A = this chain, B = another copy of it.
Amino acid sequence: MTPVSLARPRALEPGDRVAVLCVSGPVEPGALAAGLDALRFAGLDPVTYPSAHDPGTMRRYLAGDDAMRAGDLRSALTDPGIAGIMFARGGYGAQRTLEAMDWDGLAGIRPKVVAGYSDITAVLEAVAVRLGWASVFGPMVAIREGAAHYSFGSLLRTLMRPGQATVIQYPQAVAVVPGAARGVTTGGTLSLLVSSLGTGTSRPARDGIVLLEDVGEEDYRIDRMLTQLRRSGYLDGVAGIVAGTFTDCGPPEAIQDILTERLAPLGVPMIAGANVGHGGQVQAFPYGIAAEFDAGAATLRLLEPPLS
């Protein structure tokens, strides 16, 4: 069966207006300013929304209240003058935003860029389930880490020159289960995939090349979450597995051992240690794109550009 991509947005071009908002935690203004400058340097015109300026009014870990965040997201999705949506930062709050979100009347609108990761995993799943859109799992706007240039560069290349971003190589990765498979890219941050299980915006990995990565989770929690993915049926029929970074989750060998023990028995091509996710030099991971995955070569070849 030939995998079919979700609806792809058009690539971003210089001069495009890009919404910058928060569906999760409040962003530190200095880090946000640096990211906005990077977007402007790339020729984009970032437009900040109220949630990107809220200091945690309702609760220290939330940018604004649920209505503000959901309103910003809906507004950015529907505004024809906005070419793409990027998220100021992650943290926690996307689940609440999705609970408050009104999807009425959005089904027919033209796909636009949606890019983020970590807590935004829940949003990438939601726009795939509710709108049928492809998106991009990649860095947030607020720049806080040393390797931001690499990661941001990978994201902007994907968003602005998608024709040059169809072959993704993971030189640091190891093949856990060799072999090749075709499927549609999916998944994201493990704890967020798990936090949407049982809800209307979870998107099971069937026929997919699934990304799994995380940050700051203890070994037994990684084990528990992988076990829940197995038990819930999320992984039924998965075509391939890309295990990315597991940063601050304890010794990498221990985590790889758990990943292997829980996932290799599924018998599909799998790599571990790919530079996608939280961590230093990470690559953007297009979501919802038909791809051919070669675990032995640690290569993900998209069958078409991730944006049109």
Interface residue stretch chosen among A77-85, A92-100, A287-295? A92-100
Q: Which of B99, B219, B228 contacts A227 (CB 8 A)?
A: B99
Residues of B within 8 A of A196 (CB): 228, 231
Q: How far, in angstroms, from A221 to B98 measured CA to CA in the complex?
A: 16
Do residues B92 and A231 form an inter-chain contact, with CB atoms below 8 A? no
DSSP class of A's interface residues: helix, strand, loop or mixed?
A: helix
In the complex, residue of chain B having the shortest beta-carbon distance to the beta carbon of A223:
B92
List A residues 83-107 near B (Cβ within 8 Å). 91-92, 95-96, 98-99
Do residues B95 and A228 form an inter-chain contact, with CB atoms below 8 A? yes
Do residues B99 and A220 form an inter-chain contact, with CB atoms below 8 A? no
Do residues A231 and B61 form an inter-chain contact, with CB atoms below 8 A? no
Q: Does A144 contact B (CB under 8 A)?
A: no
CB-defined A-B contacts under 8 Å, sample of 27? A59-B258, A61-B219, A61-B220, A61-B223, A91-B220, A92-B220, A92-B221, A95-B227, A95-B228, A96-B223, A98-B231, A99-B230, A99-B231, A195-B224, A195-B225, A195-B228, A197-B197, A197-B232, A198-B198, A198-B202, A198-B228, A198-B231, A198-B233, A198-B234, A199-B231, A199-B232, A200-B231
Q: How far, in angstroms, from A199 to B234 measured CA to CA in the complex?
A: 10
Do residues B197 and A227 form an inter-chain contact, with CB atoms below 8 A? no
Do residues A199 and B220 form an inter-chain contact, with CB atoms below 8 A? no
Whole-angstrom distance from the CB of A181 to the nearest CB of chain B? Answer: 24
Q: How far, in angstroms, from A92 to B233 measured CA to CA in the complex?
A: 20
List A residues 198-250 near B (Cβ within 8 Å). 198-200, 202, 219-221, 223-225, 227-228, 230-234
Q: How far, in angstroms, from A92 to B226 measured CA to CA in the complex?
A: 13
| Other A-B pairs, 13, CB within 8 Å; known A92-B224, A95-B224 | A59-B258, A61-B220, A95-B227, A95-B231, A99-B231, A195-B225, A195-B228, A197-B198, A197-B232, A198-B198, A198-B232, A198-B234, A199-B231
Whole-angstrom distance from the CB of A167 to the nearest CB of chain B? Answer: 35
Residues of B within 8 A of A98 (CB): 231
Residues of B within 8 A of A221 (CB): 92
Residues of B within 8 A of A99 (CB): 227, 230-231
Residues of B within 8 A of A200 (CB): 231
Q: How far, in angstroms, from A61 to B59 measured CA to CA in the complex?
A: 34
